[in-house]
Amino acid sequence: MFLHEPFFFSKSSYHFAPVLDRNMKSISLLVISLVFVQSLIAQTDSVWSKKPELNVGGFIDVYYAYDPTNPTNPSEEKRQPFLYNHNRHNEFNLNLGYAKLALIHPKYQANFAVHAGTYVADNYASESGALKNVFEGNAGISLNDKNNLWLDAGIFASHIGFESAISIDNWTLTRSLVAENSPYYLSGAKLTSTPNQRYEWSLLVLNGWQRLSRISGNSLPSVGMQFKFTPNQKTTLNYSNFAGSEYPDLERRFRFYHNFYGQFIFREKWGIIAGCDIGMEQSAKGGTAYATWFSPVVIVKYDMSKNGKLPYGVNIFRMKKMC
């Protein structure tokens, strides 16, 4: 009896060996897959577990302006009703001052800044509540492993044009007419992709044309897009647009805006920006007539030294209203 048991067991082992071998291979593959997945999760967790960087910054733009036309209306503070920067006559004042916190992480980011100044008083005059004191307030998250696709929402700088509300970021201290009459800020959400260092595009859903809150009675969000091509460090080509309505639904009139510009650096010291903006807005709801405006701009600068620049700009602003 005992002599047959080993023989029977041996025969059984021989019969099931291929099945056990296949099962062991499957188990090995499963173990390898689990280890691989665990490794990916560990890598992802290690990225998310990185400590974010917190940066604190600020900017102050103080000015004195004298208008030779000497505005005669003492109750009128502004030098010109269509300007929003450095727009006080014969007085020292603060154009823009802000303090900013920026949270930076490979997978998420956030920015918050408060501001004050004559720029804020003029350009945010139509805004209500405490939000008008917010220069920037947004948060974003990376949507892929390469961290080159981001979704951001909140209050952020406009995607239209090459000039910003921050004077030090511009080639000239005075803004062009087209910059003063197009958005400096926007609120909404934007999807941004940078597949490589040469290309960048963004799609935006917005509350309106430079608005923190949507107009009462307007149920239609605005949209926009931006495409930027930077073939090298000396050349940038940009196209941005906007489409939406700045009226309640009962009076809805569509506005379309296109912004083109190119920025070029020559021989290290010379630079030129050439751009053109075209805007159209329906003169009446459902109408075929449009009010249009057209504004080409050229700015040339020469770098005299590391800290000294000599810029000069020419800007034309033409508007045609059709009834």
| Greatest Cα pair distance in the chain | 125
d(CA 177, CA 138): 28
Sequence-distant (≥ 6) Cβ neighbours of residue 280 within 8 angstroms: 255, 256, 257, 290, 291, 292
pLDDT at 89: 86
Q: Tell me the backbone φ, ψ of residue 180, rounded to 5 degrees.
A: -70, -15
pLDDT at 319: 76
pLDDT at 3: 39
d(CA 290, CA 292): 6
Alpha-carbon 201 to chain mean position: 10
Q: Tell me the backbone φ, ψ of residue 123, rounded to 5 degrees.
A: -80, -20
| pLDDT score of 107 more than 90 | yes
pLDDT at 48: 87
Confidence of residue 75 (pLDDT cuts 50, 70, 90): low
CA distances from 308 to 112, 171, 303, 311 (A): 31, 11, 6, 10
d(CA 142, CA 249): 35
| Region of poorest pLDDT, from 12-26, 41-55, 136-150, 304-318 | 12-26
> Domains of the chain, with CATH numbers?
52-320 (2.40.160.10)
pLDDT at 188: 97
> How large is the average pLDDT for residues 96-108?
97
| Region of poorest pLDDT, from 27-31, 173-177, 243-247, 288-292 | 27-31
Its pTM stands at 0.82
| Region of poorest pLDDT, from 252-256, 259-263, 287-291 | 287-291
How does pLDDT run across 152-192, given as a tens digit for each residue? 999 999 999 999 999 999 999 989 999 999 999 999 999 99
Confidence of residue 239 (pLDDT cuts 50, 70, 90): very high
Other Cβ atoms within 10 Å of 301 Cβ, number? 18
> How large is the average pLDDT for residues 70-89?
76
SS3 of 121, please?
A: helix
d(CA 153, CA 322): 36
Confidence of residue 104 (pLDDT cuts 50, 70, 90): very high
**Helix%, strand%, coil% for the chain, nearest 5:** 20, 45, 35
